Amino acid sequence: MTTESSNAIIDCDVHVYPKNPNEIRSYLAQPWKERFNGEGRGLFTNPVHGSRRDAIPPGGGPAGSDSEFLRKQLIDQYEIAHAILLPRAFCNLHPDPDFATAIAAAYNDWLADTWLGKYNEDGVFKGSITIAHQDPTAAAREIERWGDHPHFVQVMTDSGARAPFGQRQYYPIYEACERYGLPFAMHPGTDGMGINIQPSPGYPTHYIEWHTCLSLGFQAHLVSFISEGVFERFPNLKIVLTEGGVSWLPALMWRLDQEYKGLRYEVPWLKKKPSEYLRDHVRITSQPLERPDNDKHLLQTLEMMDAEHILMFSSDYPHWDFDSPKMAFPKLSESLRKRIFYENAKEFYKL
Amino acid sequence: MGRHVIGKVSELPPGSNKILALKNRSIGVFNVNGEFYALRNTCPHQGAPLCKGDVRGTTLPSKPGEYIYGQEGEIVRCPWHGWEFNIKDGRSIFDPNKCLVKTYEVEIEQEPSAVETFPVKIEFNNIVVYV
């Protein structure tokens, strides 16, 4: 698109849903067709509400299932130039990798036909390829199936996993991502559910604890990616930390850099300080942006984390913790605002 | 301050509310157990339409592990992030002194045209909001 105004925004985390489970089921072959029931993730449902109460389409159906209403409430209202869509298949919790792979494929077929197809004449919607990381070889095949599609711009999985994402069993996924130039995005979803480990010492009691601690899994995955040398093995691989929190990043990188000074011996494949891999390989999305009482503290954190180059705006529409493009951030310099709200994502996703 | 007659008492029974545009502001008027209150329909957090949120009770201050549910019908919960506000004074539950939403004065006025010799039922009176 070339006609965007200077206020144009790229929203890097928007959730779309099928109108009902049959939309997904129609893309499944037996025996999965009759087993699929559209179930969610099971545990830790939000005790207040899961989606914005005003995001329920007037014509019925779940929040995020009506493209006309989503366009009105998000795209048009906030001048969104592109919305990166992340469906929530929750396939990563299933013990049966074949079932999980089939669900991922059905979501991709559905997204391609609908939000990236018939709802997308102007190309405002860009999609994520859902994969089941239980079976990395099958996941790589699924990436190949969509790798040349004009509107799929990243590969996506839940942050819930059985092992940190830097480990070698996942490499078929990263090899496919690199081959097609698709970033690998992780999004919270099935941490501690089904076959996936809960990244805290045991299960917390409350949703507030679980939701706050989602950042822990992201931190472990990022440290793993860097320490295992994934970015040396796959020099063109890029990853996105979507909805995993923001302000923890500087402190974690200080810690990892400090450890590296004494422990480089253990990971000799690293060619530079751990934090120096971020700008070339890692992007982080903004929502849910932490807001300390003093705006200066957040602005300092943005500077410390190199937000100018690695932070990308996201709203998480239509979920309950939606960040308004107009209200989520304190006043930013115009150049930093443009980087975060538009330019970083435009360059990163080649939009 | 402008005086706005927004309807009859009978049109806004206990537990209900309506959202109106008064002086270019969106304002929610609530009937909480027969008492009337008006709040700005803008959450001070991120600008969500606060008055479209669920009206409900809440968990009152308690000891760890104890739940005391109360203030039934007195709390509006923001439809976006779930922040709770007391409809009666516009104060948030989590930080009533620093986080609050503007309130407006509401009065019930006897219908002026009511024939004086008949007893006037309250439900035919006007709800008046001062903005």
pTM equals: 0.93
Residues 6+ apart with CB under 8 A from A242: A12, A13, A86, A156, A185, A186, A187, A285, A314
Residue-level pLDDT at A1:
44
pLDDT band at B117 (very low <50, low <70, confident <90, very high): low
Q: How does DSSP assign B63-113, residue by residue?
A: -TT---EEEEEEEEE-TTT--EEETTT-BBSS-TTTSB--EEEEEEE--TT
How many contacts (CB atoms, under 8 Å) link A and B?
Answer: 36
Is B79 an 8 Å CB contact of chain A? Answer: yes
- Interface contact A327-B47, CB threshold 8 A: yes
Residues in chain B within 8 Å Cβ distance of A53? 52-54, 79-80
Is B82 an 8 Å CB contact of chain A? Answer: yes
Q: Using CB atoms, pick whichever of A53, A320, A324 lies closest to residue B54.
A: A53
- Rounded to an integer, the average pLDDT of A311-323 is 98
Residue environment code for A65-83, b if the CB has 16+ CB neighbours within 10 A, otherwise e: bbbebbbebbbeebebbbb
Nearest Cα of chain B lies from the Cα of A266 at a distance, in angstroms, of 44
Is B54 an 8 Å CB contact of chain A? Answer: yes
Task: State ipTM.
Answer: 0.86
Nearest Cα of chain B lies from the Cα of A326 at a distance, in angstroms, of 8
Residues in chain A within 8 Å Cβ distance of B47? 324, 326-327
Residues in chain A within 8 Å Cβ distance of B48? 52, 54, 324
Is A13 an 8 Å CB contact of chain B? Answer: no
Residues in chain B within 8 Å Cβ distance of A54? 48-49, 52, 79-80
Pick from A39-53, A306-320, B20-34: least confident: A39-53
Residues B37, B128: Cα–Cα separation, whole Å:
10
Query: If you measure CA to CA, which chain A residue comes closest to B43?
Result: A327
Residues facing A127 on adjacent strands = A85, A152
- DSSP, collapsed to helix, strand or coil, labels residue B17 as strand
Residues in chain B within 8 Å Cβ distance of A327? 45-47
- Interface contact A323-B49, CB threshold 8 A: no
Pick from A29-43, A220-234, A237-251: least confident: A29-43
Q: What 8-state DSSP symbol labels residue A130? A: E
pLDDT beyond 90 at B110? no
Span A53-104, pLDDT tens digits:
999 999 999 999 999 999 999 999 999 999 999 999 999 999 999 999 999 9
The percentage of chain A sitting over the pLDDT mark of 70, rounded to a whole number, equals 99
